[in-house]
């Protein structure tokens, strides 16, 4: 209830009447303004854009929608419209037509809604993996790095002489032995532990040795590489396996030298090739001596999810998806029955095996559905199947199949709620892309997920999990527009030494920087843009002119703060957003507009081929770009893209700092018009970074994109104030990325589709 206070001083009646009359006129004045804007639009714009902005074939066929503010639209209209006579709709007319267009059809925020969504491919894979993992004893990823090595005095792993922690498996014993206690003629070594996958995809493991060797990754029953019996020397063995991000997989490597085979020397090297990298030693930070349990990684080939809106959406069901879901269910059912004794804890000859397997199935279905079963569901999914099956093993297989093909598993929210179990599911899928763990389900059962503080406390706990680390890194890759990984190949004659190994090191360098900002210190978002340090190893140091030994491991080094500015000038991004032999202000500008500023750009109306240097050898890259994008039809987008991209021209196509372009001084000045209509000027990357780090637009865009990545929904569907509140909490936290992640996940968890429907924001999407 609001309390009305009298004015601080009384108004005379004639003056008050005049004020009331003016107030009464306001709606009419606004209506007149809108009508004037509509009239101008119909007279000068509708012939190309349609009377409702729907587009006109042969002119501008795409709908007139986007995310510019009315002020930015007015500026664009004044500069580029109408197409056949730009510059004739300016001033008040441009303001009026921009306001009409923006409110009538350009802005689509009022139709946002929380969609009914199935699990994305990533969520489906993680859900199956964690569903099985819930029946195994967990392991702990602690501070120990490397693998546990056992060294034996014969080839049969007997007479153990030595145990130690090896951080990197790259040994050349030559004609010697690993230890004076071991004779050089014959010995064996067994390394055990786990390997952490930083990203989801296919990993190629590589063994280089002239001796007997076997490698197991994840599957402990069948070696990924089996070179136990070999002939010849210098053999290289390879094996490929699919791994999910943020998880550790058991690794065992056995190696021997045999005197019977008259092997004179011994050497062993274990390497990997990650999905977006090149072959090389496994970094020590990805190895642990602790043995994690096996993880089920389903091999079913799902069609890719829709990413047209900027995030993965489970919004379509096709025949291919349906077949993949069926294949995944069949594969999982087979795996469960093959490992039934281990997973259920029930012996094959147990007298009460049937009742105990029913209880195992009840737990399985409840984990899959993320909530306790009703009596009706227990009968449908368990008792009915056990009663009809010829034996308990067949019943278990049928339970798994029916469960994994149920909408209650395949969709994130179906029926029931809203209740604490829905909240738990939304939170776990937001942070882990996976169902709740037992602690979160226990909190839901105990009524400890009813307040914002309780949910936020769970989010804080869950953020320490490696799965949350992997998901945040995935988001930062999306924010930086490097997912999927771009092609960073360069002209070898112009950039000698910039080879695949350097590219892989640059990707590692960027990831180390992102992890450092996100998980160390105060997690300040602004440091992503303003930091003047870089992670380099010996190879990168040589290429980029940093004083480090050739064999130096990755370490943080300080650079010239007037030249470098966080991710904006990281060599990997500068190389990714450039051509093979020259820079590209357009690619770099698009990255800034779409990623950092979070604005929407339409694809060019026709194929775009950059002007070659040979066509205008006397022009700088900036001048060539300005020449090619000079037409008014280009300026609607390039008027924003180019001035931002120009500010990064001090960095060549491989990210090295330069002062000259073709022998002429670099012009790195640029401009940007904010959503409030202010024109900002920059000279170089540092000034640009300073503006972006303090820009409310950039901070809001980062918060919005992070929310979308976590919730897999548009933030506008959660109410008109949600984004503003997220940005406000972001600012109050000192722009902490971790705290923003907690806040966004908490907001998503506490708001369900049913709540929005009853709040009058429209029916749920289907």
User: Is residue 621 in a domain?
Assistant: yes
Same domain, 535 and 676: yes
pLDDT at 719: 86
Across 514-523, average pLDDT: 96
Count: domains in the chain:
4
* Banded model confidence at residue 8, pLDDT cuts 50, 70, 90: very low
Q: Which two tokens stand for residue 385?
A: 């199947």
DSSP 311-375: S-B-----HHHHHHHHHHHHHHHHHHHHTHHHHH---TT-TTHHHHHHHHHHHHHHHHHTSPPPH
* Banded model confidence at residue 28, pLDDT cuts 50, 70, 90: very low
The proportion of the chain whose per-residue pLDDT surpasses 90, expressed as a percent, equals: 70
- CB 519, CB 463: distance < 8 Å: no
The per-residue pLDDT for range 357-392, each reduced to its tens digit, is 999 999 999 999 999 999 999 999 999 999 999 999
User: Is residue 20 in a domain?
Assistant: no
Same domain, 305 and 268: no
Domain C-terminal end among 694, 720, 749: 694
User: Is residue 600 in a domain?
Assistant: yes
Domain C-terminal end among 661, 694, 727: 694
Rounded CA separation 339/324 (Å):
22
- CB 299, CB 241: distance < 8 Å: no
Query: Contacts from 106-109 at CB under 8 Å and sequence distance 24+?
Result: 106/53, 106/64, 106/65, 106/66, 106/68, 106/73, 107/65, 107/67, 108/65, 109/716, 109/720
- Classified as helix, coil or strand, 266 is strand
Same domain, 184 and 280: yes
- CB 220, CB 241: distance < 8 Å: no
The per-residue pLDDT for range 620-651, each reduced to its tens digit, is 999 999 999 988 878 888 999 999 999 999 99
Same domain, 339 and 271: no
pLDDT at 105: 67
The proportion of the chain whose per-residue pLDDT surpasses 70, expressed as a percent, equals: 90
Same domain, 277 and 332: no
pLDDT at 10: 38
The length of the chain in residues reads 766
User: Is residue 754 in a domain?
Assistant: no
Q: Which residues pair with 583 in a beta bridge?
A: 578
How far apart are the two ends of the chain, measured CA to CA in Å? 38
Same domain, 76 and 197: no
Please state the pTM of the whole predicted model: 0.83
Greater confidence (203 vs 1) lies with: 203
* Banded model confidence at residue 108, pLDDT cuts 50, 70, 90: low
Spatial CA neighbour of 754 closest among 417, 423, 407, 425: 417
Contacts of 49 (CB under 8 A, 6+ apart): 55, 56, 59, 60, 64
Residue 276: domain span: 147-288
Same domain, 354 and 261: no
Q: Is the pLDDT of residue 655 over 90?
A: yes
Q: Is the pLDDT of residue 16 over 60?
A: no
Q: Is the pLDDT of residue 540 over 70?
A: yes
Same domain, 317 and 216: no
Q: Is the dihedral of CA 471, 472, 478, 481 positive or negative?
A: negative
Q: Is the dihedral of CA 81, 84, 88, 92 positive or negative?
A: negative
8-state DSSP, 189: E
Give the CA distances from residue 221 to residues 36, 214, 216, 272, 385, in Å, rounded to whole numbers and listed in that order. Answer: 76, 12, 8, 21, 31
Same domain, 280 and 324: no
Same domain, 270 and 198: yes
Across 265-286, average pLDDT: 91
Average pLDDT for the chain: 88
8-state DSSP, 406: S
User: Is residue 730 in a domain?
Assistant: no
pLDDT at 176: 94
Angle formed at CA 104 by CA 100 and CA 109, multiple of 5 degrees = 120
* Banded model confidence at residue 476, pLDDT cuts 50, 70, 90: very high
Q: Is the pLDDT of residue 597 over 90?
A: yes
pLDDT at 103: 66
User: Is residue 699 in a domain?
Assistant: no
Q: Is the pLDDT of residue 27 over 80?
A: no
Spatial CA neighbour of 205 closest among 177, 170, 240: 240
Cis peptide before 244 (omega within 30 of 0): no
Give the CA distances from residue 600 to residues 1, 67, 313, 678, in Å, rounded to whole numbers and listed in that order. Answer: 41, 6, 18, 19
User: Is residue 186 in a domain?
Assistant: yes
Same domain, 166 and 64: no
The per-residue pLDDT for range 240-268, each reduced to its tens digit, is 999 999 999 999 999 999 888 778 899 99
Same domain, 310 and 443: yes
Q: Indicate the range of 54-68, 257-271, 316-330, 637-651 predicted with least confidence.
A: 54-68
The CATH number assigned to the domain holding 57 equals: 1.10.760.10
Domain C-terminal end among 406, 431, 461: 461
The CATH number assigned to the domain holding 237 equals: 3.90.182.10
pLDDT at 757: 38
User: Is residue 709 in a domain?
Assistant: no
Contacts of 494 (CB under 8 A, 6+ apart): 581, 653
Q: Which two tokens stand for residue 421?
A: 């179990």
């Amino acid at each position: 209830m609001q309390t009305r206070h009298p004015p601080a001083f009384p108004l005379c009646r004639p003056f008050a009447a005049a004020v009331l009359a003016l107030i009464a006129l306001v709606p009419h004045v606004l209506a007149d303004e809108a009508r004037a804007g509509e009239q101008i639009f119909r007279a000068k714009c509708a012939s190309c854009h349609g009377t409702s902005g729907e587009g006109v074939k042969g002119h501008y066929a795409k709908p007139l929608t986007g995310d510019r503010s009315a002020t930015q639209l007015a500026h664009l209209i004044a500069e580029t419209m109408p197409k056949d006579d730009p510059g004739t709709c300016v001033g008040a007319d441009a303001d009026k037509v921009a306001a009409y267009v923006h409110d009538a059809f350009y802005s689509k925020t009022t139709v946002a809604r929380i969609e009914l969504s199935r699990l994305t491919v990533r969520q489906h894979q993680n859900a199956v993996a964690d569903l099985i993992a819930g029946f195994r004893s967990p392991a702990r990823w602690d501070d120990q790095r490397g693998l546990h090595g056992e060294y034996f005095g014969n080839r049969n792993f007997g007479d153990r002489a030595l145990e130690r922690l090896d951080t990197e498996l790259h040994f050349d014993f030559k004609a010697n032995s690993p230890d004076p206690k071991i004779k050089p003629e014959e010995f064996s070594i067994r390394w055990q532990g786990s390997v952490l996958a930083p990203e989801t995809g296919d990993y190629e493991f590589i063994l280089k040795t002239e001796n007997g060797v076997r490698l197991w990754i994840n599957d402990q029953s069948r070696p990924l590489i089996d070179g136990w019996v070999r002939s010849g020397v210098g053999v290289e063995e390879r094996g490929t396996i699919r791994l999910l991000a943020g998880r550790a997989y058991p690794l065992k490597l056995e190696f021997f030298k045999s005197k019977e085979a008259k092997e004179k020397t011994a050497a062993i090297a274990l390497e990997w090739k990650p999905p977006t990298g090149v072959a090389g030693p496994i970094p020590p930070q990805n190895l642990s001596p602790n043995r994690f349990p096996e993880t089920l990684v389903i091999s079913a080939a799902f069609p890719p999810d829709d990413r047209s809106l900027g995030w993965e959406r489970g919004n379509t069901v096709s025949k291919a998806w349906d077949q993949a879901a069926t294949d995944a269910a069949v594969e999982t059912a087979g795996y469960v029955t093959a490992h039934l004794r281990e997973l259920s804890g029930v012996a094959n000859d147990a007298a009460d095996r049937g009742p105990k397997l029913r209880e195992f199935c009840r737990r399985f279905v409840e984990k899959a559905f993320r909530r306790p079963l009703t009596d009706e569901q227990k009968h449908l999914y368990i008792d009915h199947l056990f009663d009809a099956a010829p034996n308990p093993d067949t019943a278990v297989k049928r339970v798994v199949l029916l469960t994994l093909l149920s909408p209650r598993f395949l969709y994130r929210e179906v029926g029931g709620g809203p209740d604490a179990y829905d909240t738990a599911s939304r939170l776990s899928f937001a942070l882990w892309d996976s169902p709740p763990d037992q602690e979160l389900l226990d909190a839901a059962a105990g009524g400890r997920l009813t307040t914002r503080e309780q949910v936020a406390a769970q989010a804080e706990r869950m953020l320490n999990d490696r799965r949350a680390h992997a998901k945040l890194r995935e988001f930062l890759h999306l924010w930086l527009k490097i997912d999927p990984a771009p092609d960073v190949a360069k002209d070898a004659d112009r950039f000698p030494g910039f080879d695949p190994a350097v590219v892989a090191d640059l990707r590692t360098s960027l990831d180390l920087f992102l992890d450092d900002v996100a998980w160390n210190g105060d997690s300040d978002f602004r440091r992503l843009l303003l930091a003047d340090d870089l992670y380099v190893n010996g190879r990168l140091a040589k290429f980029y002119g940093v004083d480090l030994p050739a064999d130096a491991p990755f370490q943080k080094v300080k650079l010239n703060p007037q030249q470098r500015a966080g991710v904006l000038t990281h060599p990997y991004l500068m190389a990714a957003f450039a051509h093979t032999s020259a820079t590209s202000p357009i690619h770099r500008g698009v990255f800034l507009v779409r990623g950092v500023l979070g604005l929407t750009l339409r694809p060019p109306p026709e194929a775009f081929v950059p002007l070659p240097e040979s066509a205008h050898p006397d022009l700088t890259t900036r001048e060539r770009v300005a020449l090619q994008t000079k037409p008014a039809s280009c300026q609607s987008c390039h008027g924003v893209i180019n001035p931002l991209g120009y500010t990064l021209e001090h960095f060549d196509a491989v990210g090295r700092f330069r002062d000259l372009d073709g022998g002429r001084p670099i012009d790195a000045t640029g401009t940007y018009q904010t959503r409030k209509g202010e024109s900002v000027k920059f000279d170089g990357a540092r000034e640009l970074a300073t503006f972006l780090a303090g820009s409310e637009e950039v901070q809001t865009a980062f918060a919005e994109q992070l929310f979308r990545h976590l919730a897999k929904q548009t933030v506008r569907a959660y109410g008109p104030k949600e984004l503003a509140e997220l940005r406000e909490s972001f600012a109050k936290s000192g722009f902490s990325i971790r705290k923003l992640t907690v806040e966004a996940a908490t907001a998503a968890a506490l708001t369900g589709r049913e709540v929005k429907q009853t709040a009058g924001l429209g029916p749920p999407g289907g």
